A = this chain, B = another copy of it.
Amino acid sequence: MSDLLERLRGRGWRLTAQRRVVAEVLDGDHVHYTADEVHAKAAHLLPEISRATVYNTLGELVSLGEVLEVSTDGRAKRYDPNAHHAHQHLVCSRCGTIRDVHPSGDLLAELPAEERFGFQVAAVEVTYRGICPNCAS
């Protein structure tokens, strides 16, 4: 994530304080913040940053493929900076905690041709649900 800003500048991004701060908040591979959480944390570093900018920046990072959008609960989307390693999610049904996980097997291959209905299937997202150790006790 540290060279993210360089990569983005190479793609014509203007390097503003706001974008720097959003990238900094998303640094660390295993966070799954909502846009509002990102905004709150960013505002801690740069108090005058606006909600709109956070949404804009997150949207750009997603279309550039640098961050993944995850919606596990039908409420706010979460942003996952771990975009360069394929992974799936394990979600606690009680507290909402999310962990990145790596199932075995070729998930895409498990959809038989006769179940594809002529679709060109390109991707698969898996969400495991359960109770985390914390909530279980």
Does A80 belong to the interface (CB within 8 Å)? no
Q: Are B105 and A128 touching (Cβ within 8 A)?
A: no
Q: What sequence of 0s and 1s flags, for each residue 73-104 of chain A, a beta carbon within 8 Å of any chain B beta carbon?
A: 11001000000000000101100000101111
Does A3 belong to the interface (CB within 8 Å)? no
Q: Per DSSP, are chain A's interface residues mostly helix, strand or loop, or mixed? A: mixed
A69 to B42, CA, bound (A): 33
Q: Are B101 and A105 touching (Cβ within 8 A)?
A: no
Which bracket fits the contact residues of A? 35 or more
A126 to B128, CA, bound (A): 9
A108 to B: closest C-beta gap in Å: 8
A116 to B: closest C-beta gap in Å: 7
Q: Specify which chain B residues have a CB less than 8 angstroms from the CB of A101 in the assembled complex.
A: 111, 115-117
A123 to B: closest C-beta gap in Å: 5
Does A50 belong to the interface (CB within 8 Å)? no
Q: Specify which chain B residues have a CB less than 8 angstroms from the CB of A119 in the assembled complex.
A: 90, 92, 99, 128, 130-133
A/B interface sample: 19 pairs, CB < 8 A: A90-B116, A92-B119, A99-B119, A102-B115, A103-B107, A103-B110, A103-B115, A107-B107, A107-B126, A117-B132, A118-B133, A119-B131, A119-B132, A119-B133, A121-B129, A122-B129, A123-B128, A123-B130, A124-B128
